[in-house]
């Protein structure tokens, strides 16, 4: 096994890895925004708003990602009459595909919040969108955080498919190197190690978020007020925690 081929071509492959990260980050951001919109449409009380969102989510989730990439690269220019670059087509396909999954993740997070909080928000004069923005979504984000990291892991791995339309991301860069030097074991072994390292680190982050936001048994009662969480701990200690888990205040009381 000759590892010099990896060292000599490392800058080129790291350039491909940079494009992989860029595609994953921008696709995640775009699909989160679009997924939030489709999640609220999915929960709409009006059927003529709800059913188109349901159809989009169900149809896209049953189509392979590689097919969505082909659609974005070959079909969209035909429909719009404008040519597109491989990077733009890849970004559009990843957002289109991941939005359907993000919508379900966000919908589940929203539905995990008691309906009474929405009703109370409406009772004090907030509109439905204001209640979602200021009351429901900050709390739902806490519940969704582990699932969001899991979706980012799947999206990060899914970027390896965009090489079929000519995007030189990490996998294609490694494939180009292999086509030139014919050292498959070293090149693809290195690719596997890099993907494993990145995805394993993200999975550890997901587990850490899940532990951070979990409420252990016997740890006292918990009350949510908007984006804040009030926990009554044993020994008369009360902590006020924001949606991101940061302690914003404490009230040390004498035990009853």
Return mean pLDDT, the chain.
83
Q: What angle do CA 4, 5, 11 make, to 5 degrees?
A: 100
- SS3 (DSSP) at 21: helix
CA distance 57 to 62: 9
- pLDDT classification of 223: cutoffs 50, 70, 90: low
Helix (H) or strand (E) holding 229: strand 228-233
Task: Name all domains of the chain by residue range, CATH numbers in brackets.
Answer: 4-214 (1.10.3720.10), 217-256 (no CATH)
For 62-109, what is each residue's pLDDT tens digit? 999 999 999 999 988 888 888 889 999 999 999 999 999 999 999 999
pLDDT score at 216 = 53
- pLDDT at residue 132 greater than cutoff 90: no
- pLDDT at residue 126 greater than cutoff 70: yes
- pLDDT at residue 56 greater than cutoff 90: yes
- pLDDT at residue 13 greater than cutoff 70: yes
Q: Which two tokens stand for residue 194?
A: 């890099």
For 28-49, what is each residue's pLDDT tens digit? 999 999 999 999 899 888 889 9
- Reported as half-sphere exposure (CB side, CA atoms, 13 A), residue 169 has a value of 23
pLDDT score at 214 = 66
CA distance 139 to 113: 7
What is the length of the chain?
A: 256
The model's pTM: 0.78
Q: Report the 10 Å Cβ neighbour count for 153.
A: 19
Helix (H) or strand (E) holding 250: strand 247-252
- pLDDT classification of 236: cutoffs 50, 70, 90: very low
pLDDT score at 155 = 94
CA distances from 51 to 39, 47, 105, 128, 150 (A): 12, 6, 18, 19, 27
- pLDDT at residue 141 greater than cutoff 90: no
């Amino acid at each position: 096994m000759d590892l010099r081929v990896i060292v000599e071509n490392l800058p080129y492959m790291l350039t491909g890895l940079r494009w992989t990260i860029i595609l994953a980050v921008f696709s995640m951001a775009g699909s989160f925004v679009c997924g939030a919109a489709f999640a609220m449409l999915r929960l709409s009380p009006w059927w003529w708003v709800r059913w188109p969102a349901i159809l989009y989510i169900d149809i896209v989730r049953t189509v392979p990602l590689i097919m969505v990439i082909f659609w974005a690269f070959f079909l969209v220019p035909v429909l719009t009459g404008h040519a597109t670059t491989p990077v733009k087509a890849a970004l559009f396909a990843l957002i289109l595909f991941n939005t359907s999954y993000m919508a379900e993740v966000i919908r589940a997070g929203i539905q995990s919040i008691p309906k009474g909080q929405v009703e109370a928000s409406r009772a004090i004069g907030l509109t439905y969108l204001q209640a979602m923005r200021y009351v429901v979504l900050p709390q739902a984000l806490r519940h969704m955080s582990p699932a969001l990291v899991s979706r980012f892991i799947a999206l990060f791995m899914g970027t390896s498919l965009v090489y079929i339309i000519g995007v030189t991301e990490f996998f294609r860069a490694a494939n180009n190197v292999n086509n030139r030097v014919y050292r498959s074991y070293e090149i693809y072994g290195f690719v596997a190690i890099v993907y494993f390292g990145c995805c394993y680190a993200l999975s550890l982050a997901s587990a850490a978020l899940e532990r951070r936001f979990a409420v252990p048994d016997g740890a006292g009662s918990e009350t949510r007020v908007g984006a804040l969480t009030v926990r009554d701990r044993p020994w008369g200690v009360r902590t006020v925690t924001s949606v991101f888990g940061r302690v914003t205040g404490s009230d040390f009381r004498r035990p009853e």
